[in-house]
Structure 1
Amino acid sequence: MAAAFDATGARGPRLAYVIDPRFAGGTSAAVAAELRVAAGMGRVTVHARRSAMFGADHQVAPALREVLDELGLPLVWDAPEIAAELVILHNPAFLKFQPEFGGRILARHLVVVAHENFLRPGGVEGFDVGACLARIDRASLALRKSIAPVSAHNRATVETWLAANPAALRWDVLDSDWFNICDMAPVPPTDAPRDRRGRHSRPGFEKFPALADLDRCFPPHAEANVILGADMLIAAQVVRPHWTMLPFRSVEVEAYFGMIDFLVYFTAPTWRESFGRVIAEALAAGKVVLTDPDTGAAFGPGVLACTPAEVDAAIARLVADPAAYRAQAARGQAVLAGFSTGEFATRLAALIAGVARGRAA
């Protein structure tokens, strides 16, 4: 066990990433981006856990597979013991359908990156948070155990849940958000915005608001209403002649952003994005984003927080005032600078430095 805590060596301390690599979308993409940073800061091992959530196969999300191959990092499947100075476990929700973690974790500092909101709107748990954390807690021996929220709203759900569950107080919360790295190249906003609206998401039901709200957000008088990821609407035979409904991944995201000037993004009232990578992509593309206050909290003044009923007036104002449109788009791109590789590297370096000093930072 002493060897597990050997923080010496030319390549720095041991860093262990733990993930079910079958996660599609945000979780795997976030880990892939982090690995490019972490690989230059320590001796990185990536541990894959097969969970009941995804079954017994050995599939790996394409974004994660690409980075593992690029960095020459092997993927260690279902190791009985994971030992490192800093262990980073991504998205504990993968444990929700099984009774135990299925191995042992030894660390100076164990960080669990939340990803999922602990609470949904109305206060209902997003998943069985207590059970998942307990499975990790029972499997781990660490000097410090921390939860890392990924955004302002995600942090609020984590802290509210912890306050209501004092038995989980052995977990602290990191001071800084463990954001998704967003290093997309910024595109200058248009000088002549038009009332061209769109939304983009995976086709899950939780990603879409009520049909009445979609009608408010994408009305007949808009010049364009482009919905990418409209598989569910297409399958339900929803007919709106003024909507362009495209299946998920049917066009490249870059081409999609060329069709719109405003991203209008609302979800089901019972669900919220924990980070909102599609919003970051739209901001990088020079678009103005309108979304609900909870989802928009991660991006502060970079987005327009509103309700579906307020969308029309906000868009009309900015179409009539191109300078205001450009200023809002510029605020969005300025916010993205806080989600850069360099900023993430600074935060990860602080954690590693704390471990190297013999205490978690």
Structure 2
Amino acid sequence: MSMYPTVAYVLDPRFRGGTSSAVAAELDLVSGLARVEVHALSTAMFSGRSVAPQLGDALARLTLPLIWDAREIAADIVIFHNPSCLKFQDTLATRIVANKLIVVTHENFLRPGGAEGFDVAKCLELIGDSSTVLQRAIAPISPWNRQTVDSWVSTQSPKHDWAVQPWDWFNICSFEMQAPTPHPADRRGRHSRPGFEKFPQQDVMDLCFPEAAEQNVILGADSYLRDGSAPAHWTLYPFGGLSVSQYFEQIDFCVYYTAPTWRESFGRVLAEAIAAGKIAISDPQTAQTFDGAVIGAAPSEVNDIVRRYISDPVRYQRDVVSGQGKLGKFSSTAFEATFNTLLGQMPGGPR
């Protein structure tokens, strides 16, 4: 046993978007609290892709090697990020040995309406069968994500015993806060990966990004660029087509809805918008993660919300600053305090 607890991360590092940014931020923090290893799995889900840039940059910055497809992973704590990466696997060849195994659920167990988001039992069974541990735990990342986990657990009988962590394994959102504009205009935008599940049906997009708006910026609009179906009054950029900071310079309102059969498990794009000094609007279930920092509303209400803020710039600024304050619950300091409690339960304790 080492002097300090050892923490092994297990993931397929080729996933893109908010999840990779969240794990990168976590590695930055946890590498200062424990002896960290990062183990990569070559799953079919991300076959042919390269390591996500955010993760690659973090690993280089921390001088942490990426260990691919190890036969055995042994640590005090093993943190398995995004178990849905195993949904196309029939086996998991890696053996996991740990005091505690934590599976962080970046994908909701259930979709809106109650259908499974992926074959949860299969993925958990693969991990359970490949692990020799004292404790197994599932760690939801948000209130909505937790609801889907709790609902699934209450109706299923997984092969192995899995406790549900009592606290959310939230995305660390330690962004630099930008001041809100004193003169908000009807400049709207949304950004995400280009997956079909990230976008609502066309009538919702039309409601949220109308011709009457001064600006409608869609970052991650790869599908619209391919088929040419977007209205002429939208400004389209492919995923990665411009930096997030450049995107935020063009908008005052982040309007974010997804397909009706899918919902964000956390909503990191909304936290980014708040930190950038914008009003963020989304569905009520996604908004609940942010304790009022994100406005939960139906798409039909968006135009009125935007109009009210434009007519009351003082309220716009006040609500943005208030929302930025609420992001403190997702700070590095908040995550560190909880993680140190976890480390304190291990032999050696935190530094």
TM-score (norm 2): 0.95
Question: Quick check: 1:288–1:303 contact (8 Å CA) kept in 2?
Answer: yes
CA distance in 1 between counterparts of 2:171 and 2:105 reads 12
**Equivalent residue, structure 2, for 1:350:** 341
**Equivalent residue, structure 1, for 2:91:** 100
Q: Report the CA distance between 1:232 and its aligned residue.
A: 1.1
Q: Deviations over 1:176-216 (max 9, x none)?
A: 11111111100011111111111111211111111111111
**Equivalent residue, structure 1, for 2:10:** 18
Name the SS for the 1:166 alignment partner. coil
Q: Give the partner amino acid of 2:12.
A: D
Q: Report the CA distance between 1:31 and its aligned residue.
A: 1.8
Question: Quick check: 1:162–1:168 contact (8 Å CA) kept in 2?
Answer: no
**Equivalent residue, structure 1, for 2:46:** 54
Match of 1:260 among 251, 255, 259: 251
Structure 1 segments unaligned to the other structure (5+ residues):
1-5
Question: Quick check: 1:118–1:154 contact (8 Å CA) kept in 2?
Answer: yes
Q: Runs of at least 4 residues of structure 1 off by over 4 A?
A: none
Q: Report the CA distance between 1:168 and its aligned residue.
A: 5.5
Q: Report the CA distance between 1:87 and its aligned residue.
A: 0.6
**Equivalent residue, structure 1, for 2:110:** 119
Question: Quick check: 1:198–1:262 contact (8 Å CA) kept in 2?
Answer: yes
Structure 2 segments unaligned to the other structure (5+ residues):
none
1:339 matched to 2:330: yes
Q: Report the CA distance between 1:25 and its aligned residue.
A: 2.0
**Equivalent residue, structure 1, for 2:222:** 231
Q: Report the CA distance between 1:324 and its aligned residue.
A: 1.4
Counterparts of residues 66-81 of structure 1 (less than 5 Å):
66-81=57-72
Q: How many residues align?
A: 349
CA distance in 1 between counterparts of 2:74 and 2:67 reads 12
Name the SS for the 2:138 alignment partner. strand
- The 10-residue stretch of structure 1 (217-226 or 163-172) with the greater mean CA deviation from structure 2: 163-172
Name the SS for the 2:272 alignment partner. helix
Q: Deviations over 1:128-177 (max 9, x none)?
A: 00000011111111111111111111111111111111335711111111
**Equivalent residue, structure 2, for 1:36:** 28
**Equivalent residue, structure 1, for 2:302:** 311
Question: Quick check: 2:141–2:265 contact (8 Å CA) kept in 1?
Answer: yes
1:298 matched to 2:323: no
Name the SS for the 1:312 alignment partner. helix
Question: Quick check: 1:303–1:328 contact (8 Å CA) kept in 2?
Answer: no
Q: Give the partner amino acid of 1:222.
A: A
1:275 matched to 2:266: yes
Q: Among all aligned residue pairs of Structure 1 and Structure 2, give the percentage whose two residues are the same amino acid.
A: 51
TM-score (norm 1): 0.93
CA distance in 1 between counterparts of 2:188 and 2:17 reads 23
1:248 matched to 2:235: no
Question: Quick check: 1:196–1:259 contact (8 Å CA) kept in 2?
Answer: yes
- The 10-residue stretch of structure 1 (80-89 or 239-248) with the greater mean CA deviation from structure 2: 239-248
- The 10-residue stretch of structure 1 (30-39 or 208-217) with the greater mean CA deviation from structure 2: 30-39
CA distance in 1 between counterparts of 2:174 and 2:110 reads 29
Question: Quick check: 1:225–1:243 contact (8 Å CA) kept in 2?
Answer: yes
CA distance in 2 between counterparts of 1:192 and 1:250 reads 27
CA distance in 1 between counterparts of 2:230 and 2:56 reads 39
- The 10-residue stretch of structure 1 (312-321 or 60-69) with the greater mean CA deviation from structure 2: 60-69
Question: Quick check: 2:293–2:324 contact (8 Å CA) kept in 1?
Answer: yes
Question: Quick check: 1:92–1:113 contact (8 Å CA) kept in 2?
Answer: yes
Q: Give the partner amino acid of 1:85.
A: D
- The 10-residue stretch of structure 1 (114-123 or 249-258) with the greater mean CA deviation from structure 2: 249-258
Question: Quick check: 2:218–2:235 contact (8 Å CA) kept in 1?
Answer: yes
1:206 matched to 2:194: no
Distance 1:90 1:232, change over 3 A: same
Name the SS for the 1:192 alignment partner. coil
Distance 1:168 1:294, change over 3 A: farther
